[in-house]
Amino acid sequence: MESRMQPLELGASGLEDFPALLRHHGLLSPAWQTGPAEPPKDFKPTESTTILAFKFADGVLVAGDRRATSGNTVVYDRADKVLEIDRQSIMAIAGVPATAWEMARVLEHSFQFFRRTQLQEMSVDGKVRALSKLLRDNFGFALQGIGVVVPIFATFDAKASPAARLYFYDAMGAQFEATDFAATGSGSPAVRGILYYENTWGKKPLQKLDTDDAVVVALRALDTASEADTATGGIDRHAKIFPIMKMVSASGIRTLPEEKIAELFRKRVA
């Protein structure tokens, strides 16, 4: 039987952007084309909070608590909100996980598509704008209240100055580059307060902290947020659930082992 599927025209004029290629073949459509349908009144989407990132001596530390909620119900306490996009880029998610994880997959394939068709890495500015466009395309769902995503994006470019780059976004796709730190999600006000205090009046500014000190600051910030915000999991002392933390530096991305986080929490936070 002859297949009706047409081959993907890689590198065709105007299709260098991976999401544009998907739309050209009818595989991806802007969210606003789904129509003005509203979710049921009792529908409460699963949401995940809280995430933070800050620059430290080696690069950027990105951390997130593990709790996912639906209204006032805890859905899951081991959600992964800190995702590796490529060898030098991390995306942390706050908002609806289903939408955010799909954005992360499209973003990952976009970077691979560009690298293989253009025979070079996408620039940092290109990566930042690619995520911004995905958020704009999702704005129709965000208006319906069922697909809001507010991410953080961290990357490292050894050829640039500064090498460590950190960005946060709003739901419409506006991008903002952070000088020192960023936090989003329902627990972010408390987190930003802790990070501002540590950066301004701590023993060292955030950008001069070593790895252990940076992890301790992140643990204190998330633990404080969990005391004020029920949607933030913080550190579960009974179930021994700790935040997930990744670091991006000149050597690439490193995921901090849970045993190391637990040890620093016992010795310097608890």
**Are 122 and 115 a contacting pair, CB within 8 Å?**
yes
Q: What is the identity of the amino acid at 18?
A: F
Helix or strand (DSSP H, E) at 245: strand 244-249
CA distance 63 to 222: 9
Q: Does the annotation count 49 as an active-site position?
A: yes
Catalytic residue among 34, 46, 49, 69: 49
1 HSE (CA, 13 A, CB side): 3
C-alpha angle 103-109-113 in degrees, rounded to nearest 5: 140
Q: Which positions are annotated as active-site residues?
A: 49
